[in-house]
Each structure stands twice: as C-alpha cells, then as structure tokens.
Amino acid sequence: MEIVSCPFCGKENPPESETCQYCQARLIPLKINPASQPDSIGQPPEEESPAKSNKDQVPESQDGLQAAGEMNRSEAAPVSDASDWLSGFRNQINTQDLSSQPVAQDDGPRPEIRDIHPDIESGTMQNDSIRSLLFTDAGQKEEQPPENSVIGPQDVERTGDTAADDLAWLRELQSQYQQVESLSSAGSKKDEDWSAANELSQDSQKREDDVVPSWVDEIYAGPRDEKEAESDLGLSPAELPAWLDATRHSGTHQDIFSIPSDYGGQVEIAGPLAGLPGILPAEPEIALGRKAAAYPAQLQVTETNRVQAEIFDQVLQSEGQNQPIPDRGLVTSQKVMRMAFAIIIIFAILVPVFSLQTLERYPPIAPVAVLTASQIISSIGNESPVLVAVEYEPGFSGELDAALAAVLDHLMIQEAFLVFISSNPTGPLQAEHIVTVSNQVGSHQYVNTEGQIEYINLGFIPGGPAGLRNFAENPRLSNPSDISGEPAWQNPVMMTVDDINDFSLVIVASENQDKSRAWIEQAGTLLANTPLIYIVSAQSEPLIRPFFDATPRQVQGIVSGVIGSVQYGTTIGRQGIAQLYWPSFNSGLLAAAILIVIGGGANALLVLNAIKNGRKKGGN
C-alpha cells in the first residue's frame, strides 16, 4: 500500500488522507482553478467566484484547496501543468528579459515571482506565507544602472508609476488569495471551495505562465520542453550556471519526499525549497515530532562529588546561622596539669621554709668571676665614688635583689660612696628599694638626708644607648640633679667626678643582656682604669661571660643569680638574702627537674605510641 509521509511531522499516513492523522497538516495542497486566473497580472479575473459554479464537481474534502492538490496528485501532473495557478505568473515572467543586463531605468524595480506551486501541492504553504514568499524584494537584486543614465526626479516619478502599474497584478492576486483563504476556513463548503480553489489555481497558473521565469519552473519541475518554452515566450531558454543547475531537483513528488542516497545532508521536504539538500529547516526540530532522547532523571555524580556537594550545602546552610562560641571548659586537662605542676613547685619551695631541718649545703666553689669581683670591691677605699647602674625590672627583684644586696653589703662595709643611675623608668625606685633592703639585711645606715649623704640617686637616663653614651661622656651635663631635684654634683665626693672614668668602680645590675651589652659598648669603651663588674640574672650569664673571658677583659667580675650571690656571700663571709633563699631555691630547682623528666618522658611515650599506631605525624 502506498504510504504518504507527512511533510511536517514525518509520520506515515494512508494515501487517501487529505490531512495528517497526527499533526493535521494538509497532505494534499489546495489547487486554484486556473480558469479564474487573469491572462496577465493586474487584470481582474473573468469570474468573481468561479469556484461556486463547480461545486458539484468537487469531491468531498475538508478543504477545497486540498482537494485541488489531491486532484493534481491523482493526475500526477507535473508542476508545469497548465492548470497550475502559477502558470499565469510563468507566462508573464517569461516575457521579461532575465539576463544580466542592467535593467532599464524606466522599468524600475520589478517584483520577481517565485514558483510556489509545489508548496501548494504539498500543502506546506500557509496562507500568510504565500503572500510573503511570492515576491522577493527587487531592491536586493544587484542592479547595474546604465552607464550614461542620470537619475532625475522625473525618472523617480516614472519609476514609481511603473511600479504601481506592476503591482496591480499583485493586488489582484491578493484578492484571489483572500478568496482562497475564505474557502479554506469554511470547512462545510467543500464543493464551493473546491471549485473556487480550482479556479484560483487556474488563474494563478495563467499569471505564473506569464510572469514566472522559465528557469524557476525548471528548478522544481525539471527541464522544460524547450519548444514549449520558446512557444510561450518566443525566447530561448537561458543557460544556467553550473552551481544553479546542480541545485535543481528533477524528481517527482515522491522524489521530493525521498532523500537521495548520494546526499549526506538533510534534504528539505517541504516548502519552496523542497528537494534541495543542505537547507536549514524552516520549522524547528520540535515540530518534526521526533521522539526525544531519554535521559536519566537522576543526576550522575560520583561519590566525591556527592560528598563535596553535601559539604557545600552545609556551608551554605550555616552561613546565615550564628555560630555560638563554644564555652571553654572550666576544668580541662591542661589546666589540671598546670595546677598540679604549680602545687608541686610551691610545695617544694615551702617545705624548706617550714621544715625544721635546713639545707646547709651550699655551692662549694666560687667561680673566678665571683672571686675577682670580691677582690676588686675589697680594694675600694673609703668615700670612693662607685657608680651602680640598676637596670633590672621589678619582676626580677627576687633574684637580683639577693645578688646586688650581697655586693652592696660589701660596698657598704667598705664605706664607698654610692651613685645610682638607671636607664629604666623604674630603676631609680628600684635603687631606693635595694638600699633599703641592704640596710635591713646588713644592718647598715646608708641614707640620703640633708645632714648625711652616703649615696646619691641620679635618677633616669633617657634616650637608651644614646643617652648612656651622653652620660658616659659627660655625666654632669646628662644628669645635673638627683631624683629629688637637688643639685647632685656639689657634694665633695661628686665634685671629683668629671666623667665616668673618674669613678672607682662601675657596677651594672641587669637581667637583660641588651642593657648589659649597651653599657659595655657605650660606657665600657671609655673606661680606662675603672673596673666594670656585672651582677646579672642566671639567664644572661652565658651572654656576658665572653666579655669576662676576653683578652683584655672588658668585664672584670660577674655575680650571677642566686647561686652567685650565695658564693659571693660565702667568699666575703657574710650571710645575706641569698643564703635565706637557697634551700627553697634548691628544692624548687630539684622539683622542676623531676617534673620535666617525668612529664617529658610520659609525653614522649604517648607521642611515640601515637606515631606507632599511625594517629599522629612525627614532629618537625
């Protein structure tokens, strides 16, 4: 059984169907009665409604136009059938000179008429599109004006008049199409539609025969009979260029709908370009009714993508939420350990204080630095000015008070005149404090009153190392008065001092190696014969020792920390603060060593165990 494919949806329909079962598109295009077509464009048709007189002859159909197409199909008439309403156009166009010669100026742009017969037969032509596809813009066609022609206003008017005359046939055609449209919309008027369509097609065929150029007809209907063409127009057919000839389709209606095997591209199956390969589809692919590809509803993601998407989702959800700061636990393992350590240390320090037994074992041997310092101080004469730089912070009073007090005790025994200075803001106060402590521990009476001046507090040296240098070079100018504002250099002892080298001894007490070094660098270079002794914290002793070990010595003596003060007191045979501190200091130090060994060992074992189990990476 012959099967007809719908040009729109591509589905198969029985041959007798006028419309597609699926998309209702016309399978049989409407045919206009050529008898109703005027002989030439612009002339009214002979009959206004010729379709009505032939309604009895029209077979039953929903659309007279389709019936016309069906009739044409059953006749298997070629496109160039005389009953085709476009034949009228063809005849008219054939009379025109379609060569490449320039168009005469008085002719003006003439609309070109294309063969739409195949489209009507196939039923793909929509009524509105018929009008739009009938004529192309003549202005788009490249025109070569005559060489010597001058276009003047009169020529423009003439061109317009000519165009108006040429368009009269268009108006006639439009009126005929309106009749066709009314026929197609009236589904019950089958017979009338059929006759009207037949007449319209015949009329249009006449006009087509008059207007449509022969080469257009040959494109759709194959090569024409040359004799017929010559008889119609009295002109020899034009030679088509090769590329245009190659686009011609010489097949029948069936060939239009079948895809030639030698063409790989898509062949157009509907519209005026039906049969041409490589044409962009007029209708969107969605109208072709192809079955859509089936895609899985579930998004194909990998496990990694899923995890990352979940994390991202959590981040987004938490973005607007306030993250409460987690409360720090009152009792944590770290705090417990700290507390335990502190209790053990405090217990170790307090036990010697409250125990009846005292630890009388002191460090036995005094180092050379301590011995040298004691020897230098022993050589200080009565009322000799000794400069004491108090450069340690109040926090280090516990350690350095003991060391400095032992040295000051020795100086006070020697009845030296003490001059205190400091580059620390709290240094002058610390100096007053250590004098008080030394008086209490050593039972001395060093005072600074109006009647008795045994020491002077020169106060604070501003400017850091630069200030130290200034003081070393000219102490009178740097600090002209003492801390209470009284003139400092009017004392008989002070009057003998012009620069730092005039002091009998310079003592620097500091916990900080920077301050210690600053004194050596700024003031020590100016000391020619004046010895320099350092009283330092145990933490900075290694940094000052090179100055003692150097040749020549830049520092003549070092008393370091609690141990140094104990050794110094032992050397001069005096019991000072250090001897009171020593038992607690000793036991505390021992407890600290034990804690470090036990705690460090336990931590090391835990870490090694964790590394062994692969839970923790090794250290740096």
Partner 1 sequence: MTTASFASSIFLLLFGGLIIYFARFKPGTSNSALRDVPAFSKIRRGIGLAVEAGQQLHLALGHGGITGFKGGSGLIGLSLLERIARAASNSDRPPVATSGEASLTFLSQDTLKSVYRLMYAESQYDPEAGQLTGLTPFSYAAGAIMVVNDPEVSTNVFAGHFGSEIGLIIDAAEQNDSLTSGGSDDLQAQAILYAAAQEPLVGEELYAAGAYLQVNPYHLASVRAQDIVRWVLAGGILAGAILKAFGLI
Partner 2 sequence: MKSNPFVYLLVAIAIASGATVLVGYFFPSLAEIKGEMLDWAVIFTAVLLLIGVVSLVRTHWRKTMQDHNDRVYSLVLIISFILTLLVTVPSGPTSKWSMWLYNNLIIPIESSLLGILAVFLIYACARLFNQRMSIYTLVFIGTVLLAMLGWVTIPGVELEGFKDFRDWLLSVWAVAGVRGILLGVGLGTVATGLRVLIGADRPYGS
* Chain residues that interact with partner 1, rule: CB under 8 A: 325, 328, 334-335, 393-395, 425-426, 463-466, 511-514, 517-518, 539-540, 543, 620
Where b means 16+ CB within 10 Å and e means fewer, 17-41 reads bbbbeebebbbbbbbbbbbbbbbbb
Residue 345 interacts with partner 2 (CB under 8 A)?
yes
Query: How far apart are CB 140 and partner 2 at their closest, in Å?
Result: 57
Q: Does 371 bind partner 2 (CB under 8 A)?
A: no
User: Least separation, in Å, of the C-beta of 356 and partner 1?
Assistant: 35
Q: 3-state DSSP helix/strand/coil percent for the chain, to nearest 5?
A: 50, 10, 40
- The partner in contact with residue 325, picked from partner 2, partner 1, none with C-beta cut-offs of 5 to 8 angstroms by kind, is partner 1
Nearer CB in complex with partner 1: 572/595: 595
Residues 510-549 that bind partner 2 (CB under 8 A): 541-543, 545-546, 549
Using rule CB under 8 A, residue 603 touches partner 2: yes
Choosing among partner 1, partner 2, none, which partner's interface includes residue 539 (Cβ < 5 to 8 Å by kind)?
Answer: partner 1
Please name the residue that has the structure tokens 């464009």. 41
* 597 lines the binding site for partner 2 (CB under 8 A): yes
The answer to whether the CB of 67 falls within 8 A of the CB of 113 is no
| Tokens found for residue 601 | 């060992």
Q: What are phi and psi of 423, to 5 degrees?
A: -100, 5
Pick 170 or 607: Cβ nearer partner 2: 607
Q: Which one of 159, 258, 426, 501 is in contact with partner 2 (CB under 8 A)?
A: 426
Of 224-232, 233-241, 304-312, 590-598: span binding partner 2 (CB under 8 A): 590-598
> What is the residue-wise DSSP string for 7-18?
TTT--EE-TT-S
Can you tell me which of 164, 244, 353, 593 binds partner 2, judged by CB under 8 A? 593
Interface with partner 2 by CB under 8 A: which range of 151-159, 249-257, 369-377, 421-429?
421-429
Considering the complex, state which of residue 19 and residue 556 has its C-beta at the smaller distance from partner 2.
556
Report in angstroms how near the CB of residue 431 gets to partner 2 at its nearest: 9
Residue 149 to residues 102, 153, 163: CA-CA distances in angstroms? Answer: 11, 13, 19
What sign results for the dihedral spanned by CA atoms 17, 21, 22, 26? positive
Distance, CA of 94 to CA of 208 (rounded, Å): 9
- 4: Cβ contacts below 8 Å, ≥ 6 apart: 12, 13, 14, 15, 17, 27
Q: Which residues 211-250 are close enough to bind partner 2 by CB under 8 A?
A: none
Question: Backbone dihedral region of 392: left (phi > 0), alpha (psi from -120 to 50 degrees) or beta?
Answer: beta
Spatial neighbors of 54 by CB under 8 A, at least 6 apart, are 33, 191, 194, 195, 198, 199
Among 301, 359, 447, 495, which residue interacts with partner 2 (rule: CB under 8 A)?
359
DSSP 567-586: HHHHHHT---HHHHHHHHHH
Q: How many residues does the chain have?
A: 620
Report the partner that residue 606 touches, choosing among partner 2, partner 1, none (CB closer than 5 to 8 A by kind).
partner 2
Site residues for partner 2, 164-183, by CB under 8 A, read none
Report the run of H or E that residue 445 belongs to, with start and end.
none
* Residue numbers at the binding site for partner 2 (CB under 8 A): 337-338, 341-342, 345, 359, 361-363, 367, 393-398, 425-426, 428-429, 432-433, 436, 457, 462-464, 466-467, 469-470, 483-485, 541-543, 545-546, 549, 563, 586, 589-590, 592-593, 595-600, 603-604, 606-608, 611, 618-620
